[in-house]
Chains A and B, each alone.
Chain A
């Protein structure tokens, strides 16, 4: 089933980590195999924030293999060495969990394709997000468990999207969890509720164009599809509108960039979405109870129609 939620504050910052946790926790009945956050925090914008993993969280139902922490240590060393070779300087390093790391990196080159390919050529290493503002955090368990594990409740920023996952078509692991980074674009993330039926056809085409897939989760296709459209010169909104015909299946998805948040709904309107929009806040989720967790008073909400695409700026 899965649940998605997102919010964007316009003209101000807020405690988006805590707010999104409340929204996703309200949707936990839609799935709590894994939960993911894409948070756009307030930063000075000088350095890249790289969230990456050097192993998997192997819980009940996971399709991944348990590895020794010493393996993670070894992979981390190779990542550090590769970064050094590419001229990327680690400014700050946090190891939240044995397999999950957050680096602030001083890296001048804007081509993240080559950067990502070299880092991810290290076996078992995946970049979860790369951006000047974006941080993707995802792990097994419900929203509160992940929030507590990564201390997300104090994160201040302008906007965020998140996903509560019931695994259906791929494994219960971090690599199949949402959000997906819009590789190789800085600060682009995607969450999705639905099923895509032309995943393999699109994947083959996109891989031939040099794009990478880290999982076999159909939702990852949306991130890669939009990223490819943007590589070809389309705006975010144009790429999203194109996806209504380019992607087959049922879907409601959100895309976020450094300064915007968008939603798209397929032409069958088969997946739910409730939206609240005011001058200073847009909040949306698979169910109204998600919005109620941040706006408990009576508000006007509505369901976007079939084939609708909307984008908001901060």
Chain B
């Protein structure tokens, strides 16, 4: 088989703007340069004042209407918004790319707080499936229970549920931290790639199934391990980090972290090579 690095196909791929890089199992990171701040514009963001507070009753609003009104209030500089009567509606608070104190006085349905980047959110109720999916940054605290796919594919931020969560928590997560005060369902950490999950209670079957990377800490019983999920040594720095994180999360401050189990990827399923998919296509 020809070496792709020296072949004409490689040159052709590069001339098309493609490039070759060695995948290390870590995602690419793009850092913000303060010197270029004036050229930087982040769509959908506003200057808000956290001391400027207002209530929003969404009882008779649809989800799009409520989300538009939240955006409208941010554009007026409101930095603290209290949502009244969310009534389990779906897709509330999605797509907020702003610093914002957002408080829900009640429960949310599916996809609450999805695709957000930056807000600090407290939900005084329960959340349905896929809460905070794709969270980039910020903090979301749920005072009660959460449904399945909690924190699916998050890339950053802290996602905290003080109660129990359903199945597939942290599925496909790529960063950030998920903290569960109660129990978690089956397939927790399924295919996670980075980030950390902390569960103070018990967890269901197939924990960490097919995880690529990342770390899961469990305080209670484990139903069963998923494929390629293995135990690892809980170090003193792990324990320091856990204590600090639980304190910041206002959850389980007195929990004995020294008895927690640490689960990581065994990396026996890793099968990476040096080619990006586009280059593979070009090489075929």
* Interface 1/0 per residue, B156-171 and A, CB below 8 Å: 0000000111111000
B110 located at the interface, meaning its Cβ lies under 8 Å from any Cβ of chain A in the complex: yes
Contact A303 B88 (CB under 8 A): no
- Contact (A288, B164) CB under 8 Å given A272-B148, A274-B128, A298-B125: no
| Chain A positions within 8 Å of B144 at CB level | 300-301
- Interface magnitude class on chain A: 20 to 34
Partner of A298, one of B106, B163, B183, B204: B106
Q: Are A269 and B125 in contact (CB under 8 A)?
A: no
Query: Assuming the A-B contacts A274-B128, A288-B128, A289-B109, are A303 and B148 also in contact, with contact meaning beta carbons closer than 8 angstroms in the complex?
Result: yes
- Residue A259 lies at the interface, judged by CB distance under 8 Å to chain B: no
Contact B183 A274 (CB under 8 A): no
Evaluate whether A267 and B109 lie within 8 angstroms (CB atoms) in the complex, with A287-B128, A289-B88 already known: no
Find chain B residues with CB under 8 A from A305 CB.
Answer: 166-167, 183, 185-186, 204
Given contacts A274-B147, A301-B126, A305-B185, 10 further A-B pairs with CB under 8 A are A269-B168, A269-B204, A272-B147, A288-B88, A289-B90, A298-B124, A298-B125, A300-B144, A305-B167, A305-B186
Residues in B neighbouring A296, C-beta threshold 8 A: 87
B185: nearest residue on chain A (CB-CB)?
Answer: A305
Contact with A306, one of B110, B146, B205 (Cβ below 8 angstroms): B205
The reply on A291 being an interface residue by CB < 8 A is: yes
Q: Known interface pairs A303-B185, A306-B186. Does A287 touch B167 (Cβ–Cβ under 8 Å)?
A: no
Interface size of B by CB at 8 A reads 31
A306 to B224, CA, bound (A): 13
Q: Is A144 an interface residue (CB 8 A)?
A: no
Most chain A CB within 10 A, of B87, B124, B165, is at B87
Residues of A at under 8 Å CB distance from B? 267-270, 272, 274, 287-289, 291-292, 296, 298, 300-303, 305-307
Most buried by A among B89, B90, B126, B146: B126
B145 touches A267 (CB 8 A): no
Given A288-B109, A289-B89, do A302 and B164 touch, yes or no (CB 8 Å)? yes
Q: In the bound complex, what is the Cα–Cα distance between A291 and B125 (angstroms)?
A: 14
Closest to A290 in B: B88
Residue pair A289, B87 in contact (C-beta under 8 Å): yes
Q: Give Cα A296 to B144, complex, Å.
A: 17
Name the B residues within 8 Å of A301 (CB-CB): 107, 126, 144-145
Q: How far is the CA of A146 from the CA of B89 in the complex (A)?
A: 24
9 A-B interface contacts by CB (under 8 A) = A267-B205, A269-B204, A288-B128, A296-B87, A298-B105, A300-B145, A303-B146, A305-B204, A307-B186
Given the interface pairs A267-B205, A268-B167, A269-B148, the reply to whether A298 lies near B107 with Cβ below 8 Å is: yes
What are the residues of chain A within 8 A of B88 when measuring CB–CB? 287-289, 291-292
Q: List, in ascending order, chain A residues with CB within 8 A of B186's CB.
A: 267-269, 305-307
How far is it, in angstroms, between the C-alpha of A28 and the C-alpha of B146 when the chains are bound? 23
- Chain B residues near A302 (CB-CB < 8 A): 126, 145, 163-164
Instruction: List the B side residues contacting A300 at CB < 8 Å.
Output: 126, 144-145
Please tell me if the beta carbons of A303 and B147 are within 8 angstroms of each other in the complex. yes
Residues in chain A near residue B145, CB distance under 8 A: 300-303
Contacts of B148 in A (CB 8 A): 269, 272, 303
Given A287-B88, A303-B185: A272 touches B107 (CB 8 Å cut-off): no
Q: Is B217 an interface residue (CB 8 A)?
A: no
Contact A303 B107 (CB under 8 A): no
The 8 closest A-B pairs by CB, nearest first: A288-B88, A269-B167, A303-B166, A306-B186, A302-B145, A289-B88, A292-B88, A303-B147
B83-119 near A? 1/0 per residue, CB < 8 Å: 0000111100000000000000111011000000000
Assess A287 versus B110: contact at CB under 8 Å? Given A272-B129, A303-B145: yes
Q: Which residue on A lies nearest to B186, using beta carbons?
A: A306
What chain B residues lie within 8 Å of A306 (beta carbons)?
167, 185-186, 204-205
Most B-side CB within 10 Å, residue of A291, A298, A303: A303
* CA–CA, A291 and B129, complex, Å: 15
Least CB separation from B129: chain A residue: A272
Once the chains are docked, how many angstroms separate the CA of A274 from the CA of B110?
A: 11
> What's the least CB distance linking B35 to chain A, in Å?
48
Question: Shortest Cβ distance from A306 into chain B, in angstroms?
Answer: 4
Chain B residues positioned under 8 Å from A268 (CB to CB): 167, 186-187
Q: Is the CB of B185 within 8 A of A269?
A: yes
Rounded to whole angstroms, the CA-CA distance of A269 and B187 in the bound complex is 9
Nearest chain B CB to A26 CB, angstrom units: 9
